Amino acid sequence: MAHIVFQTKRYKEMVDWYTTVFHAEPMFANEKLTFMTYDDEHHRFAFVNMPPECPDKDPMSPAVAHYAYTYGSADDLLSTYERLKGEGIVPRWAINHWITTSLYYADPDGTEVELQLDNHPTPEESKAVFSSEAYLANPIGNAFDPDTLLQQFRAGKDYAQCLREAEAAADPSALPVV
């Protein structure tokens, strides 16, 4: 994905949230439009400040459910979790999707942003999960407690073991209804 553009009535809150979550920097900003990036690309996010009289979008209308960013290592994902928690930004859901370890956050407009880690070293191994018994029985996956995962990982335990312990510590009712 090259970039995503948000139309929002929560302009400052959205710019601030994406700045915090992604360490994004503005490339251009005025009272109506902001372009931001977190890497060498000219922009990854744009925000359009919508007027207050603009009607809110109907939450029951078809829309994007969420978008995801993949981290390169467990340490990267868990360090981001720890940093965001310190800023008061906590995930709505933490789910082991079998294929990914996923933390779902909500931006100020309520759009879900999934920060994830691939659980398998190759795309072929990830694709094979779709036909596994565990996946067929439970395609959403299991909730996990991110604090337990972070604590066990920082203690030097094997990541797969950390994830099992974090699942055991989770409230199973924390999973989203699909």
Q: Give the start-to-end residue ranges of the domains of the chain.
A: 4-49, 66-174
Six token digits for residue 148 = 């337990």
pLDDT at 32 over 90: yes
- For the chain, the average pLDDT equals 92
| Residue indicated by tokens 């604090």 | 147
The span from the CA of 159 to the CA of 96, in Å, is 12
Name the class of domain 4-49.
alpha beta
Determine the pLDDT at residue 9.
Answer: 93
Q: 66-174: which CATH architecture?
A: 2-Layer Sandwich (3.30)
Q: pLDDT grade, residue 61 (50/70/90)?
A: confident
The number of residues making up the chain comes to: 178
pLDDT at 174 over 70: no
Determine the pLDDT at residue 65.
Answer: 81
Residues of the chain with pLDDT > 70: what percent?
97
Cβ atoms within 10 A of the Cβ of 20, count? 14
